[in-house]
């Protein structure tokens, strides 16, 4: 345990040092990577560990984003409290949904969460306090003065996002290595046997849904921070699909893999853009090339290494052990 | 009273299009045990073919025929070149639950990108085969047009055709047998793999009709059929995923339900309406309204 | 030779060897009973012969043509029908549809109807239930329907997997009598897999006893019945 | 804790990968972003696809066509202009992401013609354009809120504001439609609210008001608008929304045989776009609309004629209001860049806009309001009537230009004469 704490602190320090050395775009993307890392951890926990398929993580992120923004704007609370409220409300919502979800299996759950992903963000258009399509602002404020003039807004976002992501990963990895993590894996691989051994699998599933939602909500608040805004347009079906994609590309049951998945999600549009510029196809190419690359990667990875690129690596480790 | 009638009529018209998509999803689910998210992509690609023909010939029905043929070929192609490869590699491990979903999502993305690269993202429209003008009954004009009637008629015709194929022909019997019990069907001499591909082709053709009909009163873009997919899927789940009749009933329930929300509650709540209808149905019957005693689970 | 010739057939499921070195032959018109306890590999043998399971080595010839490696539906076309374990009917379909299914591959409606009429003659009870869902049939009726469906395919070789499973003794007797009657009338070659050794051997020409994936004894049915050691070890009385 | 070693390995590998990519680009040294010896890079975000894109998606290409024309004729002080278009699908979130890309990755010199009220509000706040000192010229939105020079020190408007438009329409209603039942359909965001506020100030009372949410427009929703309007008996309906909302509104009204006198706001009344959206242009016949520019079919206009020629040669798109607008943005941009001098800086560009912007040549009839204390662009409208071909003619036969401001100023009949088109459409100002 102590080793792990040291590892995380070291990691954080390394990231902050890197943040000082790169230009603003990379810092901004670093914050996005941190955001995706949290969001993907939420999927890994739910799908990779408890075996439930959710296509509605975008909706959970929206709950978190709106909870954070409404808290900050209406209560004038400190920023950390807004993030805490994002966790609280999305967990609450996740628990409610998880109660329904625990009764559903496979495609029924996928359908329900898909419907949620489409429907929930649109609610913002109905109630004026949610700001409609333009959304509401979520302004975590300028970086503290003592950090100096050169300390940009985006670097501030990067610091906050990285700190939150590291904390979230630390806690998640501890949960996954605890009794709960083991039980989830047992339920996933053999639901009947687990039920017979006296474990209430539905309660455990609801718990997984709740924690996963809390993580997603936190990611939603971080996303809102990086764009200073919560709006339905930020939590689209495309986002939900992208998250599932990232989780699969990273290996759906590997927590460390989420960093890689997040990196891929941020890097691919960038690579595609560079490629599009080289090909010189104009707007059409740069709009659709990222999708093309992601889709091809996704299809190949499902066919060849459905459990992620780390799959073969892990197998080696296991054999040795 | 008039508003109620309008809502019902529009709801049936909307629901009937959902029914086609929902039917396509159910057909594939029954035969392959996969929720085919790429169905929207297949329908979109076929509709683009239909659009090309319809806008060149200026005959909607020619476009529709082209779309159906394209849809059937694309559907068969997806099964033959994609699903067979996918299922040859038996997937195990934590990804097993998501793999088929992810694969079809990937395929949806792939088709969308190819369509986008080929046709661009601009909205295309197809000249509707009938007037969009509301019908006048006596003194009042209701927002229910000849096009709506035509949509309902076209869908009914397709449903009747499908019912005849499935209930009265050997092909239909083979399709049903292969879906219910592939092994027994195979032992009875049915070429189940080929039958499955035919099933995908039929689903593709049906999806293409849905795409063309949606496009006839709306626009076509690489994203324009996403909602059709979502609502078609919700309808299929409401119907219990297994039952073709259930999927049509589910679609009508959903279409009417959503139109009621649109006309009586609020525009923005339509989208969440799908979720509400779904969750209500599933909490009462977790395996859909047409579930048999023993549910098949994925 | 004409008939069924199985030699050195082996089947593995992953690392587990389910069958090895299986050899026996059945002349045209003969009924072979494959006997063995639960888990001996009988079902695996039939599934390998009808193409449902892949054989890992060996050969099986029907009228001097190799059948291993062919798809089940292709084998139906060459006259081999497999009635799989557990009353292989499709409960979602009606009785008539279950029967029609067996004839689809020939694409000859009138012949299918004729074949169905023959089946109904054999199992009059099915004639009364034609439009009912197969779901509503009793166990014995289902088994009749499964055999009837196979007959509609007009097979030359019939592979029957435990037709007696879960049926009342009186029904079992009836089914076996029908099988015997059938093959005499139609000149069918039959491979009958059974746990119910005595009833099977009574109507069989030859018998093959399988234990733990291997043939432990084979010969004419009467030889097997008369061997006291075998009776004690495998036939259970 | 037993299997820690391999896990730590994976952790580290992932982190190294992540940090490696962050290191991949180093800080380049530059004098002024986006300006090199040969090139000036500019950026625009606009909806190229999606529900709100029809019409607007032509603006970028039209600007680009005009820039190509200028580049082929020597560029701006020898530098070629490159315009990078980014698709924001009219979503604030995407607009922010794309603007970030333009500024941080593509390192554009300035934004030109960013489109949309909600999107630009979000962009300005989130990307912090003012603090970064990024000039943002010729906003493609008429939201009067952007005329607050203190909050938007680096932004410059071009369109007459929605408030001005509403005030002029209010005057027109008083003069020409007094005593009739009035209806209003508006987009329920800053765009529409701007108009509402102005109507309120002018004392115009609507008998039916139908707000709609941006992005919700469709045939189905339009049916609810029309039934509300018809139920309220509106005889004159004012519409303040985008073209993708005009289309279903007019189509459904025609379908329901509901035919009030339409007054379509300048934003949502482009006939070609309506036609592309499947609405027969004939339904526009007789609709009244406030307009700032001459009709794109008016070849007697020197601007229109020149732009049409450039369009034919460099763009190959049907020449409509959006293409005209895009070309004009190009013309204005080139004048601004020239005014900023041969070694342009962002600060210099903003100073040039403040000091010389009001004298730029522009196709619109009304005066430009740029100064040290104002970033207001055009300041007036004339009323026009559409015909069955979708063309528009000035109401009453000749252009009667009204000017006003976004505040409480009066609506004045103007005699302003706009500057002449530079020779061959190539500015030579400095």
The segments of chain B whose pLDDT lies below 70 read 90-97, 139, 141, 266-268, 291-298
Other Cβ atoms closer than 10 A to C188:
21
Instruction: Tell me which residue has tokens 């004690």.
Output: C232
| Residue A282 binned pLDDT confidence (cut-offs 50, 70, 90) | low
- Are the Cβ atoms of A23 and D25 closer than 8 angstroms? yes
- Are the Cβ atoms of D19 and A3 closer than 8 angstroms? no
Element (DSSP H or E) covering residue D234: none
Domain count, chain C: 1
Kindly list the domain boundaries of chain D, sorted by start residue: 39-160+296-379, 162-291
Residue of C nearest to B242 (CA): C92
Give the CA angle between residues C55, C60, C65 to the nearest 5°: 125
Same fold? D39-160+296-379, D162-291:
yes
Question: Which of A114-128, A291-305, B269-283, C196-210 ranks highest by mean pLDDT?
Answer: C196-210
Residue of A nearest to B272 (CA): A119
Report in angstroms the alpha-carbon separations of C124 from A256, C117, C144, C166.
67, 10, 10, 22
- The whole-number pLDDT of residue A314 equals 47
Other Cβ atoms closer than 10 A to D133:
14
Tens digit of each residue's pLDDT (9 = 90 or more) over A21-37:
778 888 888 899 999 99
Give the one of B3, B136, B268 whose C-beta lies nearest to D213's C-beta: B268
**Average of per-residue pLDDT across A155-171:** 89
Domain that includes residue A148, residue range: 2-234
Lowest mean pLDDT, pick from A198-202, B50-54, D204-208: A198-202
In chain D, residues with a C-beta closer than 8 Å to the C-beta of B127 are: 278
Q: D–C contact (≥3 CB pairs within 8 Å)? A: no
Count how many pairs of residues, chain A against chain B, have C-beta atoms within 8 Å: 181
Length of chain A: 321
Q: Is the pLDDT of residue A200 over 80?
A: no
The answer to whether the CB of D254 falls within 8 A of the CB of D222 is no
Question: Rounded to a whole number, what is the distance in Å from the CA of D281 to chain B's nearest CA?
Answer: 14
C123: left (phi over 0), alpha (psi -120 to 50) or beta: beta
Classify residue A305: in a domain, yes or no.
Answer: no
In angstroms, rounded to a whole number, what is the distance separating the alpha carbons of residues D173 and D177?
Answer: 5
Tens digit of each residue's pLDDT (9 = 90 or more) over D21-59:
444 443 344 467 889 888 999 999 998 877 677 788 889
Q: Is the pLDDT of residue D379 over 60?
A: yes
Secondary structure (3-state) at D215: coil
**A 248-287 residues with CB below 8 A of D?**
254, 256-257, 259-260, 262-263, 267, 283, 287
**Average of per-residue pLDDT across A292-296:** 86
Distance from CA of residue B292 to its chain's centroid?
A: 23
Report in angstroms the alpha-carbon separations of D330 from A51, B19, D317, D427.
56, 49, 16, 11
Percentage, residues of chain A above pLDDT 70: 91
Q: Is the pLDDT of residue A17 over 80?
A: no
- The whole-number pLDDT of residue C80 equals 92
Instruction: Tell me which residue has tokens 């999708």.
Output: A291
Classify residue C46: in a domain, yes or no.
Answer: yes
The answer to whether the CB of A231 falls within 8 A of the CB of D93 is yes
- Are the Cβ atoms of C105 and B189 closer than 8 angstroms? yes
- The whole-number pLDDT of residue D22 equals 47
In chain C, residues with a C-beta closer than 8 Å to the C-beta of B183 are: 52, 72, 84
The CATH number that domain D162-291 falls under is 3.40.50.2300
- The whole-number pLDDT of residue B297 equals 37
**Average of per-residue pLDDT across D110-137:** 88
Tens digit of each residue's pLDDT (9 = 90 or more) over C93-111:
999 999 999 999 888 889 9
- The whole-number pLDDT of residue A308 equals 60
In chain A, residues with a C-beta closer than 8 Å to the C-beta of B114 are: 288, 292
Give the one of B120, B226, B297 whose C-beta lies nearest to A105's C-beta: B297
- The whole-number pLDDT of residue A195 equals 66
Average pLDDT, chain D: 85
Count how many pairs of residues, chain B against chain C, have C-beta atoms within 8 Å: 71
| Residue D8 binned pLDDT confidence (cut-offs 50, 70, 90) | very low
Other Cβ atoms closer than 10 A to D97:
23
Give the CA angle between residues C132, C134, C135 to the nearest 5°: 105
In angstroms, rounded to a whole number, what is the distance separating the alpha carbons of residues C21 and B18?
Answer: 57
- The whole-number pLDDT of residue B171 equals 92
- Are the Cβ atoms of A259 and D17 closer than 8 angstroms? yes
Question: Rounded to a whole number, what is the distance in Å from the CA of D260 to chain B's nearest CA?
Answer: 15
Chains that touch B (3 or more CB pairs under 8 A): A, C, D
Count how many pairs of residues, chain A against chain D, have C-beta atoms within 8 Å: 128
What tokens appear for C94 in the block? 């009606």
Q: Assess A303–B contact: CB distance below 8 Å, yes or no.
A: yes
Domain that includes residue C34, residue range: 4-84+156-235
Question: Rounded to a whole number, what is the distance in Å from the CA of D28 to chain A's nearest CA?
Answer: 9
Q: Is the pLDDT of residue D4 over 50?
A: no
In angstroms, rounded to a whole number, what is the distance separating the alpha carbons of residues A169 and A250?
Answer: 15
Give the one of D87, D96, D104 whose C-beta lies nearest to A283's C-beta: D87
Distance from CA of residue B237 to its chain's centroid?
A: 12
| DSSP letter (8 states) at residue B205 | H
Q: Domain spanning D39-160+296-379: which superfamily? A: Response regulator (3.40.50.2300)
In angstroms, rounded to a whole number, what is the distance separating the alpha carbons of residues D79 and D38?
Answer: 4
Q: A–C contact (≥3 CB pairs within 8 Å)? A: no
Q: Is C159 exposed, middle or buried, given 0-12, 13-18 or 19+ CB atoms closer than 10 A?
A: buried
For residues D3 and C232, the model is more confident at: C232
In angstroms, rounded to a whole number, what is the distance separating the alpha carbons of residues B30 and B162?
Answer: 15
| DSSP letter (8 states) at residue D308 | H
- The whole-number pLDDT of residue D80 equals 93
Question: Which of A207-216, A253-262, C176-185, D250-259 ranks highest by mean pLDDT?
Answer: A207-216
- Are the Cβ atoms of B286 and A104 closer than 8 angstroms? yes
Classify residue A151: in a domain, yes or no.
Answer: yes
Q: Is the pLDDT of residue D243 over 60?
A: yes
Task: Give the CA radius of gyration of chain D.
Answer: 23
Mutate to test the interface with B, among A119, A185, A253 (most CBs of B within 10 A): A119
- Are the Cβ atoms of B102 and A111 closer than 8 angstroms? no
* Domains of chain B, each with CATH number or no CATH: 2-132+141-284 (1.10.3470)
Q: Give me the phi and psi of B112, to 5 degrees please.
A: -60, -45
The segments of chain C whose pLDDT lies below 50 read none
- The whole-number pLDDT of residue D28 equals 41
In angstroms, rounded to a whole number, what is the distance separating the alpha carbons of residues A101 and D231?
Answer: 44
């Amino acid at each position: 345990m102590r080793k792990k704490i040291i590892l995380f602190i070291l990691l954080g320090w390394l990231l902050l040092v890197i943040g000082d050395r790169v230009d603003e775009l990379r810092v901004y993307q670093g914050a996005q990577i941190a955001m995706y890392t949290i969001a993907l951890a939420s999927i890994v926990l739910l799908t990779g560990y408890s075996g439930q398929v959710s296509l509605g993580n975008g909706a959970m992120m929206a709950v978190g984003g709106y909870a954070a923004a409404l808290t900050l704007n209406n209560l004038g609370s400190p920023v950390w409290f807004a993030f805490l409220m994002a966790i609280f409300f999305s967990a609450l919502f996740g628990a409610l949904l998880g109660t329904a979800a625990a009764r559903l299996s496979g495609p029924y759950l996928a359908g329900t969460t898909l419907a949620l992903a489409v429907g929930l963000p649109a609610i913002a258009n109905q109630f004026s306090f949610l700001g409609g399509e333009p959304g509401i602002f979520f302004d975590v404020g300028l970086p503290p003065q003592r950090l100096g003039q050169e300390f940009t807004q985006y670097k501030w976002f990067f610091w906050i996002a990285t700190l939150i992501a590291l904390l979230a990963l630390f806690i998640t990895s501890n949960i996954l290595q605890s009794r709960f993590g083991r039980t989830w894996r047992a339920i996933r691989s053999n639901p009947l046997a687990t039920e017979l051994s006296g474990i209430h699998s539905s309660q455990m599933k609801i718990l997984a849904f709740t924690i996963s939602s809390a993580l997603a909500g936190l990611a939603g608040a971080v996303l809102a921070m990086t764009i200073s805004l919560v709006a339905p347009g930020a939590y689209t079906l495309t986002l939900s699909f992208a998250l599932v994609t990232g989780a699969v590309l990273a290996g759906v049951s590997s927590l460390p893999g989420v960093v890689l998945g997040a990196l891929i999600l941020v890097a691919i549009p960038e690579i595609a853009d560079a490629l599009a510029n080289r090909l010189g196809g104009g707007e059409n190419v740069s709009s659709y090339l990222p999708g093309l690359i992601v889709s091809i990667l996704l299809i190949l990875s499902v066919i060849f290494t459905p459990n992620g690129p780390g799959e073969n690596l892990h197998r080696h480790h296991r054999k040795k052990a | 009273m008039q508003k109620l009638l309008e809502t019902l009529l529009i709801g049936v018209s909307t629901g009937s299009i959902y029914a086609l998509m929902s039917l396509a999803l159910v057909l594939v689910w029954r035969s392959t045990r996969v929720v085919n998210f790429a169905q929207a992509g297949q329908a979109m690609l076929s509709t683009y073919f239909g659009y090309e023909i319809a806008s060149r010939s200026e005959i909607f029905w020619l476009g529709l025929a082209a779309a159906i043929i394209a849809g059937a070929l694309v559907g068969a192609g997806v099964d033959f070149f994609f699903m067979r490869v996918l299922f040859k590699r038996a997937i195990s491990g934590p990804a097993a639950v998501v793999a088929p979903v992810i694969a079809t999502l990937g395929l949806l993305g792939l088709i969308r990108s190819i369509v986008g690269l080929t046709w661009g993202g601009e909205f295309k429209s197809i000249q509707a085969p009938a007037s969009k003008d509301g019908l006048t009954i006596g003194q009042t004009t209701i927002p229910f047009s000849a096009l709506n009637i035509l949509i309902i008629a076209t869908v009914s015709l397709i449903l009747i055709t499908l019912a005849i194929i499935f209930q009265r022909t050997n092909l239909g019997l083979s399709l049903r047998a292969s879906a219910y019990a592939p092994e027994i069907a195979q032992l009875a001499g049915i070429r189940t793999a080929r039958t499955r591909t035919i099933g995908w082709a039929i689903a593709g053709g049906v999806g293409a009709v849905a795409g063309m009909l949606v496009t006839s009163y709306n626009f076509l873009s690489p994203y324009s059929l996403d909602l059709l997919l979502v609502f078609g899927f919700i309808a299929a789940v409401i119907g219990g995923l297994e039952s073709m009749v259930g999927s049509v009933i589910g679609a009508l329930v959903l279409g009417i339900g959503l139109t009621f929300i649109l006309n009586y509650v609020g525009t923005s709540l339509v989208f969440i309406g799908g979720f509400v209808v779904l969750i209500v149905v599933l909490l009462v019957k977790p395996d859909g309204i047409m579930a048999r005693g023993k549910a098949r689970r994925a | 030779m004409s008939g069924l010739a199985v030699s050195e057939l082996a089947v593995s499921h992953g690392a587990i060897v389910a069958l090895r070195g299986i050899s026996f032959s059945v002349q045209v018109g003969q009924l072979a009973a494959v006997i063995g306890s639960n888990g001996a590999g009988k079902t695996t043998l039939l599934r390998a012969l009808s193409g449902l399971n892949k054989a890992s080595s060996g050969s099986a010839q029907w009228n001097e043509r190799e059948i291993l490696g062919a798809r089940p539906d292709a084998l139906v076309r060459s006259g081999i029908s497999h009635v799989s374990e557990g009353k292989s009917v499709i409960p979602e379909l009606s009785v008539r549809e279950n029967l029609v299914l067996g004839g689809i591959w020939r694409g000859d409606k009138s012949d299918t109807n004729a074949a169905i009429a023959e089946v109904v003659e054999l199992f009059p009870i099915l004639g009364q239930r034609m439009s009912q869902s197969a779901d509503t049939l009793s166990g014995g009726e289902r088994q009749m329907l499964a055999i009837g469906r196979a007959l509609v395919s007009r097979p030359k070789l019939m592979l029957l997997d435990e037709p007696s499973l879960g049926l009342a003794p009186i029904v079992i007797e009836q089914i076996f009598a029908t099988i015997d009657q059938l093959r005499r009338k139609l000149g069918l070659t039959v491979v009958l897999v059974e746990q119910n050794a005595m009833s099977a051997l009574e109507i069989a020409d030859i018998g093959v006893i399988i234990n733990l994936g291997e043939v432990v004894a084979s010969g004419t049915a009467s030889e097997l019945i008369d061997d006291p050691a075998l009776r004690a070890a495998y036939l259970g009385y | 804790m037993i299997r820690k070693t391999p896990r730590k390995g994976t952790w580290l590998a992932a982190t190294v990968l992540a940090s490696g990519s962050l290191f991949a680009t180093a800080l380049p040294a530059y004098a002024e972003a986006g300006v090199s010896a040969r090139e000036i890079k500019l950026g625009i975000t606009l909806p190229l696809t999606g529900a709100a894109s029809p019409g607007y998606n032509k603006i970028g290409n039209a600007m680009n066509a005009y820039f190509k024309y200028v580049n082929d004729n020597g560029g701006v002080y020898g530098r070629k202009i490159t315009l990078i278009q980014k698709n924001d699908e009219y979503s604030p979130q995407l607009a922010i992401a794309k603007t970030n890309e333009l500024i941080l990755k593509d390192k554009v010199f300035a934004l030109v013609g960013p489109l949309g009220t909600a999107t630009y509000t979000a962009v300005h706040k989130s990307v912090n354009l003012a603090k970064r000192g990024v000039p943002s010229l010729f906003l493609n939105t008429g939201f009067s809120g952007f005329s607050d020079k203190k909050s938007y020190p680096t932004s410059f408007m071009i369109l007459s504001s929605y408030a001005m438009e509403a005030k002029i329409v209010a005057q027109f209603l008083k003069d020409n439609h007094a005593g009739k039942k009035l209806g209003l359909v508006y987009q329920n965001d800053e765009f529409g609210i701007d108009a509402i506020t102005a109507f309120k100030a002018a004392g115009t009372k609507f008998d039916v008001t139908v707000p709609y949410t941006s992005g919700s427009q469709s045939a189905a929703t339009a049916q609810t608008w029309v039934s509300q309007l018809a139920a309220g008996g509106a005889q004159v309906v004012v519409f303040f929304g985008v073209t993708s909302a005009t289309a279903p509104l007019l189509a459904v009204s025609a379908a329901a045989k509901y035919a009030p006198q339409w007054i379509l706001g300048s934003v949502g009344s482009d006939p070609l776009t309506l036609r592309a959206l499947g609405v027969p242009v004939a339904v526009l016949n007789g609709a009244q609309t406030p307009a700032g520019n001459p009709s794109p079919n008016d070849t007697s206009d020197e601007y229109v004629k020149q732009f049409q020629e450039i369009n034919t040669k460099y763009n190959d798109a049907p020449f409509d209001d959006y293409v005209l607008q895009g070309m004009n943005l190009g013309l204005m941009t080139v004048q601004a860049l020239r005014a900023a001098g041969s070694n342009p800086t962002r600060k210099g560009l903003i100073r040039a806009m403040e000091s010389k912007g009001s004298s730029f040549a522009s196709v619109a009839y009304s005066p430009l309001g740029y100064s040290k204390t104002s970033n207001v662009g055009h300041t007036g409208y004339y009323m026009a009537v559409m015909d069955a071909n979708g063309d528009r003619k000035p109401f009453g036969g000749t252009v009667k230009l009204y000017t006003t401001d976004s505040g409480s100023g009066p609506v004045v009949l103007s005699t302003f004469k706009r500057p002449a088109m530079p020779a061959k459409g190539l500015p030579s100002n400095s």
